[in-house]
Structure 1
Amino acid sequence: MDKKSQKDEQRRIAENQVEASRSEHNSKHKRTGITLNVLIILVGLAIVGVLWLVFFLTADDSKEPTETKPKTEQTQKADEAKKDDTKPKETEKPKETTEKSDDPNVSQVIKKDWKPVGTEQKGDHVNSYEMKSQDWEEKVNAFSKATGIDKGDMTIWYVGRGEDPATQSIGTVTTKSDPDTAFRVYITWIDGEGWKPTKVEELKTNDKKN
């Protein structure tokens, strides 16, 4: 083989080696690119999976109903006692009881634990029956409280002394519109607190009308 042929052969071999090296480099580059793409996809899927899992667990926790335990009888009584304690004592209505009477003109006797109506009087109390006196005005307040009749709608038929003339009085009252439905009211003086209703008798007929 002449020198020229040898040079051409060497050149082809060198070119083949370069081409093979270039092909191998390109192949490695492609494999690296594919591997990176696969890793990126896997990481993305992992992130999506973690986010979905966190969201699912959070949503599941928020939907879980709060367990409500039934109240026992003792717990209910305790709750009711607390509610009763929070009510202002002065707004509690006194318990009403009714009784029969030996008086043939009394249909029923009404009793409550009424509170005194209060007083503006100072010093020693004097049981007064003067219609313009402070004591008389406070008697009327006690009659109104015991019967539920407003003072502006009340007709006073009689006011007299009770068993203890110094501390007790009795009044017979009706509404202005119904003078036949009469109430006999018993009141007692409490020092510093005023007149306190003690008993109301509902009358069958107004015995002070005639």
Structure 2
Amino acid sequence: MTSAPDTVDPTPPAREAEARERARLAGSFAEYATTVLRDRLIVLDLQPGTPLNDEALGRELGIGRTPVREALKRLEGEHLVTVYPRRGTFASAVDLSDLAYITEIRERLEPLAAERAARSASPEARRGMRELADALERLQPGAAGAAEALRYDLDVHRSIYAANGNPHLEEDLRKYDNLATRIWCFVADRLPDVSGNVAEHIALLRDIAEGRAAEAAEHAREHVSGFERLVRSVI
């Protein structure tokens, strides 16, 4: 990236105020930038290979270059960003051959998180999972499009990770789920009806909510394996 002063052009007051409030709630401008850019990279709003200029992104987010550079460094560690010496920083490519490696890890860690959540989730977390399962049951067969299915999938997995009680396991699983989600988005236009994939979450959520640890672990394992089969059916 080209060198420039660590400042940004003035932004409209309302936009700047909104950006700063979000940053305050998130704890820091770097955390805010990381959250926003991570989500854009996961759902491919920032397409693979897109150049990521810290100054331009800072102007867009209403913050300085320094927190954006810190965010990009964090996202490089999550394999969402790739830095090429003397060329710059880019949104990482989606490598479909990574699916097997990601699945191998998730097939071991997702059941562990589900089992731990079933044993240690708080009453509030269990209530949230019941409510999410109820919402999924209200969906009509075939009604969930790819975007809605993706939203529910992220909600389910992130709620389980947060409830498992091990912050290191949560961090690792979020990283691998993000990479799996990028693959999903990359092939989304080729996928058949994904309602079945969404419906698989219902039993998993209810097992965790009711403390059925062994059943939750098995449902989590089946869901990860089913995801790989679904993606492989179109690649």
Q: Under TM normalisation by the shorter chain, which class is it?
A: under 0.3
Higher relative CO (Cα under 8 Å, sequence separation at least 6) belongs to: 2
Relative to its length, the structure with more helix (as a share) is 2
Using the size of structure 1 for normalisation, the TM-score is 0.24
